Amino acid sequence: MSLSIMAKEAREFPSVIAQQLDKNDEAISQLAGRLQQLNPNLIYIIGRGSSDHAGVFGKYLFETEMGIPVCSAALSIAGIFKRQLNLKGAVAFIISQSGRSPDILKQTESAKNGGAFTIAFVNDETSPLAELADAVIPLSAGEEKAVAATKSFLATLSALLHLCARWSQNTSLFNALKAVPSQLETVINAPSRLTKAHVENTRNTIVLGRGFGYAVGREVALKLKEVLGIHAEAFSSAEFIHGPVTLVEKKLKLISLNIEDESAPFHQNMVQDVRSRGGECIDLQGGVTSPHPRLDALLLMQRFYLDIEKIAVELGLNPDTPPGLNKVTKTQ
């Protein structure tokens, strides 16, 4: 049986990250030197969909590793309300697979006009975004044909990790990045963590994570909607206890994303609370020990993408072209 486009593309990520690291390291090291001189007081992240979810990962990464505040842009401010923000002293990360969405381009132009130094994380190096930004970090994921992003999302996470490692001069993080492709291959060849039996006849679910787990939890929830047609919402496990936990009484199924970092014991305490109330929680993790806790999310998502594609095929769904979706979405 031939693999779907989504499955093929997800399986390409180990080679994508290896090539990306080799191709980008000199340019990223130079960019890191410039950022050290600029010493920004804010990172302003611009993105939509999976790119925005990668930005949430970036928020946890740069706040945790470098102590720089990170916020997400509200794209309607420039696009609809026509307001100009003062971003002097800030650096803007613009994340886009295509680099062609009108609202992303408009917000990037607004960020530059507001005084921000702009860096595009973009897969298409010939795009208008690549021309507009002050600096470009190519994702180098290759063409992505499946509507549901996989390798381009993971390539964004690895590019953010690469920049963080060089900017913060964190040698252990950079060395771990260089070692992670072989572990991703191990994850690809490992048994499924999420199966058809887990989600069959499920119409609604909650994805729980903490810190970096919450960041990729937003992407997990999006893919459950896009690929399987399951209504899913992501919550920080701590936030879920503040009100939404009452949904557990409706016999709601939950998915717990387990990241082995500083947040793990706190997340597990919250999950245990949910289980004590009768909640059914499915545990997901990468399945192998990562070379650095900041890379756990890469391993988890590598396995999840393959699992959800397999489930879609088993349910008779087409994972490559979910109904009503296009690869490039153009919003104002």
Low-confidence ranges of the chain (pLDDT < 50): 327
- Pairwise CA distance, residues 38 & 245, whole Å: 44
Fold of 5-169: Rossmann fold (3.40.50)
pTM of the model: 0.94
Q: Determine the pLDDT at residue 160.
A: 98
CATH 3.40.50.10490 in the chain, residue ranges: 5-169, 188-314
Beta strands in the chain (DSSP E): 42-46, 70-72, 90-96, 117-122, 135-138, 204-209, 231-236, 253-257, 280-284
Give the architecture-level CATH label for domain 188-314: 3-Layer(aba) Sandwich (3.40)
Q: What is the pLDDT of residues 73-100, one digit of tens each?
A: 999 999 899 999 999 999 999 999 999 9
Q: Determine the pLDDT at residue 323.
A: 65
Token pair for residue 259?
Answer: 């990241």
Cα dist. 189→193, 223, 258 in Å? Answer: 12, 21, 20
Q: What is the pLDDT of residues 311-326, one digit of tens each?
A: 999 999 999 987 655 5
Q: Determine the pLDDT at residue 329.
A: 54
Q: Determine the pLDDT at residue 276.
A: 87
Q: Determine the pLDDT at residue 331.
A: 58
- Pairwise CA distance, residues 189 & 192, whole Å: 9
Closest CA to 207 of 164, 162, 252, 145: 252
Q: Determine the pLDDT at residue 332.
A: 53
**Is residue 138 helix, strand or coil?**
strand
Q: Determine the pLDDT at residue 216.
A: 97
CB 149 within 8 A of CB 166: no
Q: Determine the pLDDT at residue 245.
A: 85
DSSP 35-93: HHHH--SEEEEE--THHHHHHHHHHHHHHHHH---EEE--THHHHTS------TTEEEE
- Pairwise CA distance, residues 53 & 42, whole Å: 18
- Pairwise CA distance, residues 156 & 160, whole Å: 6
Q: Determine the pLDDT at residue 98.
A: 92
DSSP 264-285: HHHHHHHHHHHHHTT-EEEEE-
- Pairwise CA distance, residues 199 & 173, whole Å: 35
Q: What is the pLDDT of residues 12-24, one digit of tens each?
A: 999 999 999 999 9
CB 317 within 8 A of CB 227: yes
Residue 80 CB coordination number (10 Å): 12
Q: Determine the pLDDT at residue 330.
A: 54
